[in-house]
Structure 1
């Protein structure tokens, strides 16, 4: 009853707004495409995402399914985004403007562009930069919420790690990476045997279409219930050990272009296509040893004050008036303060991108001027670098991460499905021209 009343109140307020608009000043009002708990998905959001997908497909010469099928996938994504953002609000997850700017700046650097050039490129592609910026904020919030909720659902035992280490040693194709396409024919909530039989029939029909030459990406966008549907079902390059066990067992030794399935999982029936195969280069691993002083801005401490405080510390250190470790013990926030800010040896790629990039510019013993990461403001010194062969500990860490990656995708899908099942969702049909 409460959910129905919320929806009724929301729709009533929209109708009141419509009737209070005078005939002399008719203004097109945004329509509600879906109600999601206490929030809405607007038709303008649907149209913006549809426009972006179609634009990208045109640039990449990629065919798309019918407008109705594409719209269904887009609304599903926006509903999921709305649910996750609402959950993030309840959890208190926030992305500050400084964090957002840092992320977009790094995105520009990855494309070998300045921030201004990156913004101009987006505008020239017909995108509204402010909307794009807020979409990035939403994606960052969604990522934080998803990781926080899914991570606690995953348990990896020491025996699982030991077993995978044994498999990895025996794996003859360890240096091979696969780019897989995945289509999930989903079960409904609490499926009956008839529901499961119907899903299997649909999956077999999809395989028949694919074997007869139908475009995999087009069918994935139209039919898949997986999170990668709008990317044409593409999972990206992964070593065989990084793939879900069900997939790795059936693709090992198979040729490019092979279509496999249907594979029964707890979520439905999966169809897998080996899009490409490549060898993987083996490289040495660089580790860095660094220390830092972290200050987190707050309502009391502004961004500018945090930066200025750290700059003052750097000036004192350079003048020989203060010791880094003592300053860290007294002022740094976080668990490393008791160690004088010492972070120990680590793979730089395990750090926040801003922190990783700062370390990359330093020689041993050098300090970096204060900079902002997603955690706060840092004053950092690189103390040592070393090149390392894989050690037992590193192999164990890698095995753990591979197991985590295997489980994360499946648990993430289960989590969002459970979240949707518990939510009030109402989708409004729109005329599709």
Structure 2
């Protein structure tokens, strides 16, 4: 029996070794990115996702090699941002993640259970979907933290844009742009610029001869939207990069524009669609809240229960919302004012907070809700229809300038981070 037992153990160890070797041969390190790595399976998964989406949309794709190159570049950028998130201590907890997924489901008029079933039906595991959303939240926060401090907006810029908005009126055009960037290094040589210009001219010729814009973008673009076929989505004329705004105004649908040189390379644009902006009013809300932040001492469950107890005290008349906010709220800006936030556009709030406000009637108090800031108890005080005041015009101008500069600076920041990183591609995909 001892001999038989030893033989069985030996077989198990051998099979385990073979399995490990097989797994290693199937999944290996494909790229070294500073202190991190990108696995072959990650590249394959992203490529397959792009192919599946293209098949669903009846969209043609470039060669597998070109597609793989674009996938590697996106994964490198994501990996560098995740490494920076680790250094900055940026995390997304499970409750925050679940709240975000619930918001996504609600925006699609689905329950979380229905959304989960949709994900599973699309051949993606729900766990993988959750981690994809978590990564998007983390990288978004990394970008905001690093890019926001690079943006400076002068009062003169705001005043100039306000004047332009008044001249144009509310019926401003929006453009859905296709974008291809033929990039060159941060500090290019004359040869780098000449080579990039030559490639850009070839791309223009291909497009003028009927080549598919999305396919060319996926194969050739260095832009952030390359894997989406270069689709930048709908952009207000004042929200798009200044360089683009100067050349698209007055141009018809299907116009090809470029190459246009910038510090990033040569840009090629296609006007996919245009539309006007209808005049609309903006509803503002005045609300108050009590914010409680979980900590090592205060767990998620205890924080939520604390707010449920506060709500019951308010209902029973043993305490007022204002008094509880002054005593317990961890929002320094509103706590001293009894939790009152003042009239504001709900869009300025984080999704969980905004969505909770949308469900409340005047004078109603929410159940405790979790946002990226912590747990909130919210009371809707009043709704009103906002008129076009100078303050609103100023806020609109500031946001349009900020959005444009944020997009421009994000591209620059990503390129600089990529240029300064140690990148070693161990497998170019030809073997």
Q: TM-score range by the shorter chain?
A: over 0.9
Q: 1:252 to 1:353 in 2, by over 3 A?
A: same
2:338 aligned with 1:340, yes or no?
Answer: yes
2:159 aligned with 1:162, yes or no?
Answer: yes
Give CA deviations for 1:40-72 in whole Å, capped at 9, x if unaligned. 111111111111111010000011111011101
- In the alignment, which residue of structure 1 is the partner of 2:11? none
Q: TM-score, normalised by structure 2?
A: 0.93
2:429 aligned with 1:428, yes or no?
Answer: no
2:115 aligned with 1:128, yes or no?
Answer: no
- In the alignment, which residue of structure 2 is the partner of 1:9? none
Q: Is the 8 A contact 2:103 2:355 kept in 1?
A: no
Give CA deviations for 1:71-104 in whole Å, capped at 9, x if unaligned. 0111111111110011011111110101111111
2:149 aligned with 1:152, yes or no?
Answer: yes
Structure 2 distance, partners of 1:52, 1:38, is 26
In structure 1, which of residues 222, 236, 240 is the aligned counterpart of residue 237 of structure 2?
A: 240
2:253 aligned with 1:293, yes or no?
Answer: no
In structure 1, which of residues 173, 176, 180 is the aligned counterpart of residue 177 of structure 2?
A: 180
2:251 aligned with 1:254, yes or no?
Answer: yes
2:22 aligned with 1:27, yes or no?
Answer: yes
Q: State how 1:403-414 maps to structure 2 within 5 Å.
A: 403-414=401-412
For residue 60 of structure 2, give the secondary structure of its aligned residue in structure 1. coil
Following TM superposition, by how much is the alpha carbon of 1:429 offset from its aligned partner in structure 2, in angstroms? 2.1
For residue 22 of structure 2, give the secondary structure of its aligned residue in structure 1. coil
In structure 1, which of residues 189, 193, 205 is the aligned counterpart of residue 190 of structure 2?
A: 193
- In the alignment, which residue of structure 2 is the partner of 1:225? 222
Q: 1:172 to 1:261 in 2, by over 3 A?
A: farther
Structure 1 distance, partners of 2:195, 2:353, is 50
Q: Is the 8 A contact 2:171 2:278 kept in 1?
A: no
Following TM superposition, by how much is the alpha carbon of 1:330 offset from its aligned partner in structure 2, in angstroms? 1.0
Q: State how 1:33-432 maps to structure 2 within 5 Å.
A: 33-171=30-168, 174-335=171-332, 336-432=334-430
Structure 1 distance, partners of 2:54, 2:430, is 20
Kindly tell me the number of residue pairs found equivalent between the two proteins: 415
RMSD: 1.6
Structure 1 distance, partners of 2:248, 2:20, is 62
Q: 1:57 to 1:25 in 2, by over 3 A?
A: closer
Structure 2 distance, partners of 1:306, 1:26, is 48
Following TM superposition, by how much is the alpha carbon of 1:230 offset from its aligned partner in structure 2, in angstroms? 0.7
Q: 1:174 to 1:24 in 2, by over 3 A?
A: closer
For residue 211 of structure 2, give the secondary structure of its aligned residue in structure 1. coil
Unaligned residue ranges in structure 1 (runs of 5+): 1-18
Structure 1 distance, partners of 2:21, 2:413, is 44
Give CA deviations for 1:276-296 in whole Å, capped at 9, x if unaligned. 011222211000000000001
For residue 367 of structure 1, give the secondary structure of its aligned residue in structure 2. coil
Structure 1 distance, partners of 2:319, 2:52, is 56
Structure 2 distance, partners of 1:288, 1:265, is 42
Q: TM-score, normalised by structure 1?
A: 0.93
Structure 1 distance, partners of 2:382, 2:64, is 56
Structure 2 distance, partners of 1:21, 1:159, is 69
- Of 49-58 and 161-170, deviating more is 161-170
Following TM superposition, by how much is the alpha carbon of 1:21 offset from its aligned partner in structure 2, in angstroms? 6.8
Following TM superposition, by how much is the alpha carbon of 1:239 offset from its aligned partner in structure 2, in angstroms? 1.4
Following TM superposition, by how much is the alpha carbon of 1:33 offset from its aligned partner in structure 2, in angstroms? 1.3
Unaligned residue ranges in structure 2 (runs of 5+): 1-13
Give CA deviations for 1:269-313 in whole Å, capped at 9, x if unaligned. 111110001122221100000000000111111111001101111
For residue 126 of structure 1, give the secondary structure of its aligned residue in structure 2. coil
Hey, which bits of structure 1, 4+ residues long, moved more than 4 A?
A: 23-26
For residue 225 of structure 1, give the secondary structure of its aligned residue in structure 2. coil
For residue 92 of structure 2, give the secondary structure of its aligned residue in structure 1. coil
